[in-house]
Amino acid sequence: MSNLYNSAVIACGVIEPEVRHFARNYPQIRDLVFLPQGLHDDPARMQQELQAAINRAEANPEIEAVVLVYGLCSRGVENLRHARCPLVIARAHDCVTLFLGDKDRYAARQREQPGTYWFNPGWIRGGASPGPEREARLRREYAAKFGEDDVEYLLETDRAGFAHYDRAAYVGLGLGDPQKEAEYTRTCAACHGWGFDQVPGDPALLQALLQGDWDEKRFLVVPPRHVIRLTADDTIIRAEPEPNLP
């Protein structure tokens, strides 16, 4: 099903270069909005920022659909309100699926290598991925506030947050310098004693989302006055009527 609605695209900054690259092929995209990456760490703030962006999009009479370049992302996309435009989102837990190109491919990788920490170009740019640069930055930040013993304790606490991982995997869509980014991922993996994989990316899912090729298997089209809800199966998300309607 192809839908050439005039659309507003609201995307996470983690995938901004990729969205800008592919969006130029689709003239029906009338607005591009990028929110800060890492909002999934604070789902309440993520909901607030997404809601404000949706409200701005719906206030523009030219916009006929709102496209979210997000996954479920710590459930930060649940309960978003929209009164006029359909809301469209990929069936994905997080942005890794958008880089891999298929939720089933992501699920298979997670079954085969459940201890994988995924690196992509945006996460590397943001400096939040586990590795030498993150540790050096945190050491500087902690040293400015705390004594040496506290610094070491806080760094050890941060490392413990990654203790259940045993592999780093790099996936990108071919923009920028993939080989340099893959080598950086390999360095981070070695820092933690993890294995390393370089996984080919696939832009098909992102392209279809931006183009308006929204089949039910890959995408959820949320009608106006409905909200997104987590499911307990491989569809990941569903639409439900907005609660507390007058």
Whole-model pTM? 0.92
83 occurs within a structural domain: yes
Pair 109, 195 in one domain: yes
**Mean pLDDT, residues 94-100:** 96
- Residue 2: pLDDT band (50, 70, 90) is low
pLDDT of residue 53: 98
Residues in contact with 117: Cβ distance below 8 Å, sequence separation at least 6, in sequence order: 129, 130, 162, 165, 167, 168, 169, 194
Whether 167 contacts 9, CB under 8 Å: no
Q: How far apart are CA 144 and CA 150, in angstroms?
A: 11
**Mean pLDDT, residues 168-176:** 95
Pair 108, 230 in one domain: no
**Mean pLDDT, residues 121-133:** 88
Pair 122, 188 in one domain: yes
Pair 68, 128 in one domain: no
37 occurs within a structural domain: yes
191 occurs within a structural domain: yes
Pair 72, 51 in one domain: yes
Whether 110 contacts 116, CB under 8 Å: yes
246 occurs within a structural domain: no
Q: Does the pLDDT at position 210 exceed 70?
A: yes
Q: Does the pLDDT at position 28 exceed 90?
A: yes
**Mean pLDDT, residues 209-235:** 96
Pair 39, 160 in one domain: no
184 occurs within a structural domain: yes
Whether 68 contacts 10, CB under 8 Å: yes
pLDDT one-digit tens code per residue, 110-121: 999 999 999 999
Q: Does the pLDDT at position 155 exceed 70?
A: yes
116 occurs within a structural domain: yes
Q: How many domains does the chain have?
A: 2
**Mean pLDDT, residues 85-102:** 96
**Mean pLDDT, residues 133-151:** 92
Q: Does the pLDDT at position 127 exceed 90?
A: no
**Mean pLDDT, residues 142-163:** 92
- Residue 139: pLDDT band (50, 70, 90) is very high
* Structural domain harbouring 152: 103-200
Pair 193, 207 in one domain: no
Distance, CA of 158 to chain centre: 22
Q: Does the pLDDT at position 68 exceed 70?
A: yes
Pair 135, 176 in one domain: yes
Q: Does the pLDDT at position 215 exceed 80?
A: yes
pLDDT of residue 129: 86
